[in-house]
Chain A
């Protein structure tokens, strides 16, 4: 396995989304290749940093507008008279 292929599979490895053969070949490559190991580790760190990141709140103006619309219970356009 070449470094390029190893890097391409580094993300799928995190999700246990590689078949056995491919995973074994990748692990073999990572064991022998420091740059790819570093890359794979950084992809993992990236994934871990994302987990649970609080959803940004909507702009206050947007939030107010949505809540106001919900309170009005604005009828849908095709509701008719």
Chain B
């Protein structure tokens, strides 16, 4: 016998309405980091994003009766975070300097222009590596840990989009509804994020000690 799988979000609803601690904990563990990434993507620095998400958790759990199940609980939670993060970001813009806002580098990091000659050919073709080389380079570290680290190093909006699209596997439309980013904007951010993470993986495999002879 294997242990029963964790209940999904919707199955947790009655326990959340009963304010059961274990249910709160499961939901927070499952969504908190992703929700903070969403808030970061809306121009909040890390600490402010954490605060907004904590407030959003409280607001959401106080208003669970307002959740009508027309969307998933995940989508509903994300919507609350987006609303509150936008409000907080606007308030910060009124009172803070621009220097502590995240985001200007979100437009960077397309295909590396330096990798190409002026005529559009590769200056230096991609290093030859595959998933196996990456695992070897990580020397026993979990690939997933390296993935999360690479996502964490992205500019905030890129990180937010790639989490929704590639990690969670949500479609462009659902992501647009959640984050309010047009599909074209998502396209640009997602491309940049994938290229950056590919480059990170390439660097990891390149920097790994030369393969030992078997």
Secondary structure type dominating chain A contacts: helix
Q: Do A49 and B147 have beta carbons less than 8 Å apart?
A: yes
A11 to B148, CA, bound (A): 20
**Within 8 Å CB of B29, what residues of A?**
57-58, 63
Q: Do B32 and A63 have beta carbons less than 8 Å apart?
A: yes
Closest CB-CB distance, B89 to chain A, in whole Å?
Answer: 18
Q: Do B121 and A56 have beta carbons less than 8 Å apart?
A: no
Q: Do A45 and B130 have beta carbons less than 8 Å apart?
A: yes
Q: Do B54 and A56 have beta carbons less than 8 Å apart?
A: no
A50 to B172, CA, bound (A): 17
A39 to B24, CA, bound (A): 43
Any B CB within 8 A of the CB of A19? no
Closest CB-CB distance, B162 to chain A, in whole Å?
Answer: 7
Interface residues in B1-37 (C-beta closer than 8 Å to A):
19, 21, 24-25, 28-34, 36
Closest CB-CB distance, B169 to chain A, in whole Å?
Answer: 6
Known contacts A35-B125, A57-B29; A3 and B120 CB within 8 A of each other: yes
Chain A's interface size range is 35 or more
**Within 8 Å CB of A35, what residues of B?**
122, 125-126
Interface centre among B24, B31, B134 (most CB of A within 10 A): B24
Any A CB within 8 A of the CB of B80? no
Known contacts A55-B31, A58-B28; A7 and B111 CB within 8 A of each other: yes
Chain B's interface size range is 35 or more
Q: Do A57 and B33 have beta carbons less than 8 Å apart?
A: yes
Q: Do A63 and B129 have beta carbons less than 8 Å apart?
A: no
A12 to B194, CA, bound (A): 10
Any A CB within 8 A of the CB of B119? yes
Any A CB within 8 A of the CB of B190? yes
Any A CB within 8 A of the CB of B208? no
Q: Which residue of B lies closest to A2 (CB)?
A: B120
Closest CB-CB distance, B68 to chain A, in whole Å?
Answer: 21
Q: Do B19 and A71 have beta carbons less than 8 Å apart?
A: yes
Q: Do B57 and A62 have beta carbons less than 8 Å apart?
A: no
Any A CB within 8 A of the CB of B101? no
A76's partner among B62, B151, B195 (CB-CB below 8 A) is: B62
Any A CB within 8 A of the CB of B61? yes
Q: Do B120 and A56 have beta carbons less than 8 Å apart?
A: no
Interface residues of B (CB under 8 A from A): 19, 21, 24-25, 28-34, 36, 50, 54-55, 57-59, 61-62, 110-111, 115-116, 119-122, 125-126, 128-131, 134, 143-144, 147-148, 151, 162, 166-167, 169, 172, 187, 190-191, 194-195, 197-198, 201-202
